[in-house]
Structure 1
Amino acid sequence: MHRPTHVSPRAARTTLCALGAAALAVSLTACGSGSSNPFDDHQEKSSYQDGAAAKSDRKSVPRWLPDDASDITYVMSTTGDDRIMKFTTPDGKFPAQCAKGEPQGKPRLKADWFPSDLAAKADTNCGTWSGARVDGALYAWQDKDVAMKARG
C-alpha cells in the first residue's frame, strides 16, 4: 500500500528557494564575459583586416587610421570614450597628420596584446589619441577625459 508523503510548507519553500538560487547562479555564470573585471562587460572588441573596413564598421575608430593599415585590433568602452588599438602600416609609421608629442591622459582599458607600459613609451599624438611603435606594431589609446575636454 502506497502512503502519500507529507512535506511541510516550510520544507517545500526552503527546497524551492534553494532550487531558485541555484538556477539564478547558473544563469548569471552563463552570461557576460567570464571575466572577474566588472568593466569587461562594458567593452566591445573588434579586429579588422584593414583600416577602411574598421572605419566603415565603427564610427568610433579614428578617421586618421590609414585605409591601408592592417592587422587592426580594437577595444572600446561602451560607457565612455576610452579606446585602445593595435595596427600596422606599410611604412611602419603613424600617418602624416600625427605629430611627436607627450602622451595625453593614460590608457584605461587593458588587453593581453596591449603593452602595459605603453604610456611611458608614447611619443606620438593623433588628435586626442596617443601612441607609440613597439616591436614593429603601432599602438594607440584615447583617454575619455582627453576626448571630453577636446569636445569642449
Structure 2
Amino acid sequence: MTHQPSSPPRPDANAALADVTTSSARRYRGVGALAVAAVVAVTTSACGAITEALQDRNAGHTKEFSYDSGASGKAADVLPAWVPDDASDVRGVFRTTGDEVILTMDADLADLPAACSAVDADHPLVAVPARDGLTVEDYRVDSTLRATWWTTGQEQEATRLCDAWWVGAQDGALFAFTPELKAVKIEDQPDPV
C-alpha cells in the first residue's frame, strides 16, 4: 500500500483564507462599533428627553419665552398675528400641557389691528374654543399661570378681544391672556423670577 502524502495547501489558498478571515473580523468590528454608537446615541437621546420631561414637570409644565420685538416672535411662529411688529420687550409664559398663555409687551392699544374688537355686551370676555367639540363652558376664566409681571386677576381687566386673546393695557404696556381648559391639571409652579 502506497501512502501518498497530502498535498500542501497552495499559497494562494492561504492568502484567500487570510483575506476572508481578516475582512470578516474587520466587518464584525465595524458592525460592533456601529452598534455601540447606536446604543450611545439612543441612550443619550433618551436621557436628554427624560431630563427635559423632568424639568418641564418640575416647572409645573410651564415654559417662558421672550423676544426683542413682536416681529421676531412672529417670525419664530411663537406670537399671534395680532401682536404689533414694533412691540418691544415681549415676554410670555405658556403651559405645555394646555392652551393657556400670558403675554406682556411694550406697545399701545392703538397699535392693535382693527380686527381686535372692543369688549362690550356684544363681545364679552369669553373663551374662544380652540378645537371642535369644545364649548365656552370647557374653559376657566381666570389665569392659572404666574409671572412677576402678571398680577392676579389682570386678565379680567382686558378691554379688547384679538382672536382668542383677551388684551388690555396697564402701566404703559399691553398684556394678553388665553384661557385654560378646565380638564387640564394645574400643577404647582416654581416662584416666578
Which TM bucket (shorter chain)? 0.5 to 0.7
Residue from 101, 104, 112 that aligns with 1:83: 101
Over the residues paired in the alignment, what is the CA RMSD in angstroms? 2.5
Identical aligned residues as a percent: 30
Written as runs of structure 1 = structure 2, the 5 A alignment for 1:45-60 is: 45-57=64-76, 59-60=77-78
| Higher-strand-fraction structure | 1
Aligned partner of 2:112 in structure 1 is: 95
TM-score, structure 1 length as denominator? Answer: 0.63
Asked if the contact 2:103/2:177 (under 8 Å) is kept, the reply is yes
Aligned partner of 1:109 in structure 2 is: 145
Higher relative contact order (CA 8 A, sep 6+): 2
Note the alpha carbon deviations across 1:6-27, whole angstroms, 9 max, x for none. Answer: xxxxxxxxxxxxxxxxxxxxxx
How many Å separate the matches in 2 of 1:61 and 1:131? 14
Note the alpha carbon deviations across 1:52-104, whole angstroms, 9 max, x for none. Answer: 111122x3421111111111001111111110000122x55351221111323
Could you list the runs of 5+ residues in structure 1 that have no partner in the other structure?
Answer: 1-27, 147-152
Number of residue pairs aligned between Structure 1 and Structure 2 = 111
Could you list the runs of 5+ residues in structure 2 that have no partner in the other structure?
Answer: 1-50, 127-140, 183-193
Bigger CA radius of gyration: 2
Aligned partner of 1:121 in structure 2 is: 157
* Secondary structure, counterpart of 1:144 in structure 2: coil
TM-score, structure 2 length as denominator? Answer: 0.51
Aligned partner of 1:42 in structure 2 is: 61
